[in-house]
Structure 1
Amino acid sequence: MTDPRTRRARILRGDLPTEPMPMADLLRRTPYRHARIPGASAPDPTIERGLDLALRVGALMLRCGAGAPQVEGAIAATAAAAGVDQVELDITLQSILVQARSAEGRQHTMLKVVRHTRFDYARLVAVHRLVESLVAGEVTPDEASDRLRQIKRTPRTYPKWAISLANAVLASAVAVVIGASALAALATIGVVLAVAGIARLHARVDLPEFYGNAINSFAATLLAGGLYAVGATGAIPFTEADFAFVVAGGIVAMLPGRTMASAIEDVIFGYPLTGAGRLLAVLLSLTGLIIGIASGLGAMLTLTRWTSSSFVSPDVLDLRVSQAPIVPALLASLVVGLAAGVTVQSRRGLILPMGLLTIVGVAVSAVLTRGPGVGSVTATGIAAVVVGVFGRLLAQRMDAPSLVLVVPASFGLLPGLTIFRGLYELVAQGQDSGLLTFQSGLSTLLSAGGVLLAIATGTVLGEYLAAPWDRHVRGSRRPRTDAVPR
């Protein structure tokens, strides 16, 4: 029988102090969850080498655009494969802190700060394969350290001019997905390339992203408005709908969709500080984008009012993504995925799967909105879940982290046209049409925010649901010796 005093002491004492999370929990639902975990603490030299290698792996992944959950899993797997039985790990937006205790009882703590990030999914794939090889025992920790150094030194897959061109093609394809004509698609390419030139000019003074986005979106809106003004004279067949499509395509090209997905994933999987930091960055970037477009629309409205001419008719507010012909929209969605893969510096062998996955997402969304009439937010969320499931399974089959397929494939679902309509309603309030009200504009922008949230949460849910099937869909493993991210 338990002593009443002992029972009372337990009640007063409360919960036990927080212990380090078991390595198996850190590896759960990751591609490395079958890694062999050491059964006892290692000596000091082994702990130091293991933590150093794991920290370098995590820092490179964070620098290349990985989310905190992917970084956590890779660090834990690397440390376990290098002989560390238990590790304390803390990841923030710009730093990684790891700690482990050796067999001699000494605490080893290491910190790495990542001040700049550049999306480079080819390197992420190379690091992922390196960690898999290390976990499988195909390379030693010393060999892994050398290969990691080679991965860091390898030049990026695509030059800057190719990224700018891919971004322009991406915006043009998005415009076609939502119903743009061939002329509007070509105009979108020209506008985005011109904005890229403007961005290079203000990049010389290292302008913060908020101001850069505002300048870029302002320029894009004025350039598209100039084309519409020329079309209004009859010189070219450029309509008010084409103007909306060009601006909408440019919005998608500038939207921080990659960071949004990572931020939501961080929050969902227990990294609120990192996720909050990313979300704040997304909010500031999106605010700059909105301010630039709104300023451009306001300037055009003022100019047309002075000249007693008509700007964009209220018919533009009736434009919907679902009005685009289905076959051109699906073909354009393939181009969206291909171009998005180039913009994130992905491996060449993964570009086509990204395009096919984009078609799947756009097709599911189109079927739901055009068939049973499901709302845009719900349809986009369901399509995002499908993209997440198939992206995870396909990524495992191709020996790559799922985010390198899922994030580019979700670009075809981004709500560029909805954002434009909301901004037009906000800026054009007080004009002749009673349709243009501040309330309706705010409601439309909130709907666009709901779509962005549905994309981020849907893809994360899809990956989570598909995780148990990783081992079943993965092909027979071959030793991975490629250190060059091609």
Structure 2
Amino acid sequence: MSDERPRRRPRERLLRGEPVTEPLPISESLRLTPYRDPRVSLAPEEEAETRKSLDLAVRVGELLLRCGAGTRDVEASVVAVAAAAGLRRLEVDITNQSLLVQCPSSSGTPVTLLRVVRSSTRDFARLAAVHQFVDRIVSTEFDIDRAFEELKAIQREPRLYPRWLVMLGFGGLAGGVAMLLGGQRVAVVVAVISSILIDVLGRWLARRGLPAFYVAAAGGAVSTMLAWAAYNLSQNLPDDYQMRSTGFAVAVAAGIVVLLPSRTMVAAVEDAVTGYPVTGAGRLLTVVLAAAGIIVGVAAGLQLSLRIDSAFDLDLSSPNSLKLDQLTNPNPGLALALIGGAIGAFSGAVTMRSRPRMLLPTAGLGLGAAAVNYGLSHGLDVGATTAVAIAAVGVGIVGRMLALRLGAPALVLVVPAVSPLLPGLRIFRGMYEAIAGSAVGAEGVADPGTGVASLVGAAAVALAISTGVVLGDVMSARFDRPIVQRRRARRR
């Protein structure tokens, strides 16, 4: 009997469209996350049980948003908890300050929950605790009432480290940045003291309801004026204790790095790159406003100091003048750069309240990032932006692998490790060129366009750091399955 099925011609097979794709189960959306292959429970039979399971997932996402997690991590955690609780279909909508989740009950009635996050903080210890909580939920059987109690305990746990230690952490971060930039001893000390005072001032202003833009502007102005005061006072001291003009710039640059919102900057780029443009745009606006406030403050401080101090003039032959060629390519020496990178990363982790067991690994990542950046930019003469991007990619790859071994999300190690690489010196150089007129045109008129170009270069470096970290995290996501499986096997 002959086969009566119609045979497709080669041309028809070549031009045939793709088949219709069915929606993937929510557990399949976790395949490149630390919560891949969750242990799925039976679907809730009652609408009240569905609402309770959904409420647990939403509260996890709310706490992550409050602690500074990225949108991708928040969504993955919400989906993982919902999948482990037996929910089969889920719709998640996340903005900067809210979390909207919906799923159908067993009867088909949609259950919708909304949580609003009215405040946020940098609390990486609590973030790691939530990560471990979700990891236990997706890998072992759990009782939902007990899970609620455990989550409430995480919420009520006191913040890690006393406030005075966090304040010293800001000083250590500024000192590490000053060392990484090649600042002399006096500049490092001034950077440490200035950053501690800026932190005290910022908290005082924030308690009085001043918006973050004005707090950043005040910090930038105070950093510049304190460095100027230290510069002038040091001129009456012996030569070994005098602050040079480059030291002045390094001290201000360190204060700028401390004021920059590094976590929000990385999260904004991560959201935009990974498919969350609305949230990314909102966070990017926050970063732009903070950076604008810093620039306004530094500009005001520079204008005031240039008016009252004749040491900063347009005569670049003066020994006390600011030599921009030294600021463009500082060469601190390998040993000083490595020490500065490690101290800056360690101190940055303290300011973000990472757990004590995370501090030394973070310092190691910061040292490695400084070594790669120094070797490429000074050893191989690679461009500064390219060098810092490659270093950020390496931090993203190693940071994710190491963080999963320690039971934490990658950003807990990655963000403090790359903080010392932020372009504080370029921002200061751009402001000085625009205000002091250090670039002089053919007609002897100061060219403010050179300062704008330096500020654009600073933005390029910041973007290179953020995109490099995200790229490293994405590249390593396909190779961390053995780490996740070993951790779950030990737990079972």
Instruction: Please say whether Structure 1 and Structure 2 have the same fold, judged by a TM-score greater than 0.5.
Output: yes
Alignment check: 8 A CA contact 1:240 1:313 kept: yes
- CA deviation profile, 1:451-474 (whole Å, cap 9, x unmatched): 100111110010000001112234
Q: 33-42 or 396-405: which moved more?
A: 33-42
Partners of 1:22 and 1:478 lie apart in 2 by 24
Give the superposition deviation at 1:238.
Answer: 1.2
After TM superposition, list the pairs within 5 Å mapping 1:362-381 onto structure 2.
362-381=370-389
Partners of 2:312 and 2:364 lie apart in 1 by 48
Q: 276-285 or 35-44: which moved more?
A: 35-44
Q: Of 45, 48, 66, which aligns to 2:48?
A: 45
After TM superposition, list the pairs within 5 Å mapping 1:227-306 onto structure 2.
227-234=230-237, 236-304=241-309
Partners of 2:222 and 2:85 lie apart in 1 by 52
Alignment check: 8 A CA contact 1:58 1:96 kept: yes
Please list every run of 5 or more consecutive structure 2 residues that lacks an aligned counterpart in the other structure: 7-18
Q: Give the secondary structure class of the aligned counterpart of 1:110.
A: strand
After TM superposition, list the pairs within 5 Å mapping 1:48-59 onto structure 2.
48-59=51-62
Q: Of 59, 68, 88, which aligns to 1:85?
A: 88
- CA deviation profile, 1:250-300 (whole Å, cap 9, x unmatched): 111111111000011111111111110000000000000000001100111
Alignment check: 8 A CA contact 2:313 2:436 kept: no
Corresponding position of 2:15? none
Distance of aligned partners of 1:430 and 1:268 in 2 relative to their CA distance in 1, 3 Å threshold: closer
Corresponding position of 1:394? 402
- CA deviation profile, 1:280-325 (whole Å, cap 9, x unmatched): 0000000000000011001111112599998961414432454111
Letter in 2 for 1:415: P
Give the superposition deviation at 1:39.
Answer: 7.8
Partners of 1:309 and 1:327 lie apart in 2 by 34
Taking only aligned residues, the RMSD between alpha carbons, in angstroms, comes to 2.6
Corresponding position of 1:343? 351
Does structure 1 residue 166 correspond to structure 2 residue 169? yes
Corresponding position of 2:16? none
Partners of 1:450 and 1:436 lie apart in 2 by 24
Alignment check: 8 A CA contact 2:427 2:454 kept: yes
Distance of aligned partners of 1:423 and 1:210 in 2 relative to their CA distance in 1, 3 Å threshold: same
Percent of residue pairs identical? 41
Aligned length: 468
Corresponding position of 1:108? 111
Distance of aligned partners of 1:141 and 1:24 in 2 relative to their CA distance in 1, 3 Å threshold: same
Partners of 2:90 and 2:312 lie apart in 1 by 69
Alignment check: 8 A CA contact 1:178 1:321 kept: no
Letter in 1 for 2:388: T
- CA deviation profile, 1:4-57 (whole Å, cap 9, x unmatched): xxxxxxxxxxx99x9976413531311012114468674313211110000000
Distance of aligned partners of 1:430 and 1:191 in 2 relative to their CA distance in 1, 3 Å threshold: closer
Corresponding position of 1:177? 180
Letter in 2 for 1:466: S
After TM superposition, list the pairs within 5 Å mapping 1:102-251 onto structure 2.
102-234=105-237, 236-251=241-256
Q: Give the secondary structure class of the aligned counterpart of 2:242.
A: coil
Q: Give the secondary structure class of the aligned counterpart of 2:323.
A: helix
Q: 201-210 or 248-257: which moved more?
A: 201-210
Letter in 1 for 2:451: G
Partners of 1:113 and 1:368 lie apart in 2 by 45
Alignment check: 8 A CA contact 1:177 1:321 kept: no
Partners of 1:170 and 1:410 lie apart in 2 by 11
Q: Of 448, 451, 460, which aligns to 1:441?
A: 451
Partners of 1:20 and 1:444 lie apart in 2 by 48
Alignment check: 8 A CA contact 2:40 2:84 kept: yes
After TM superposition, list the pairs within 5 Å mapping 1:395-414 onto structure 2.
395-414=403-422
Distance of aligned partners of 1:445 and 1:21 in 2 relative to their CA distance in 1, 3 Å threshold: farther
Letter in 1 for 2:399: G
Q: 107-116 or 79-88: which moved more?
A: 79-88
Partners of 1:308 and 1:368 lie apart in 2 by 34
Q: 422-431 or 258-267: which moved more?
A: 422-431
Letter in 2 for 1:462: G
Q: Of 305, 328, 340, which aligns to 1:332?
A: 340
Q: Give the secondary structure class of the aligned counterpart of 1:319.
A: helix
Q: 310-319 or 295-304: which moved more?
A: 310-319
Q: Give the secondary structure class of the aligned counterpart of 1:323.
A: coil
Q: 231-240 or 367-376: which moved more?
A: 231-240
Letter in 2 for 1:67: G
Please list every run of 5 or more consecutive structure 1 residues that lacks an aligned counterpart in the other structure: 3-14, 482-486
Q: Return the TM-score normalized by structure 1.
A: 0.91
Partners of 1:210 and 1:194 lie apart in 2 by 18
Partners of 1:454 and 1:378 lie apart in 2 by 8
Give the superposition deviation at 1:422.
Answer: 1.0
Letter in 2 for 1:177: L
- CA deviation profile, 1:83-132 (whole Å, cap 9, x unmatched): 21111100000000000001111110000000110010101111111111
Q: Give the secondary structure class of the aligned counterpart of 1:388.
A: helix
Alignment check: 8 A CA contact 2:245 2:322 kept: no
Alignment check: 8 A CA contact 1:386 1:462 kept: yes
Give the superposition deviation at 1:439.
Answer: 1.6
Distance of aligned partners of 1:245 and 1:306 in 2 relative to their CA distance in 1, 3 Å threshold: closer
Letter in 2 for 1:470: D
Partners of 2:154 and 2:194 lie apart in 1 by 35
Distance of aligned partners of 1:435 and 1:152 in 2 relative to their CA distance in 1, 3 Å threshold: farther
Give the superposition deviation at 1:412.
Answer: 2.3
Alignment check: 8 A CA contact 2:230 2:243 kept: yes
Alignment check: 8 A CA contact 1:164 1:193 kept: yes
Letter in 2 for 1:409: A
Distance of aligned partners of 1:309 and 1:77 in 2 relative to their CA distance in 1, 3 Å threshold: closer
Partners of 2:71 and 2:464 lie apart in 1 by 20
Q: Of 447, 461, 468, which aligns to 1:451?
A: 461
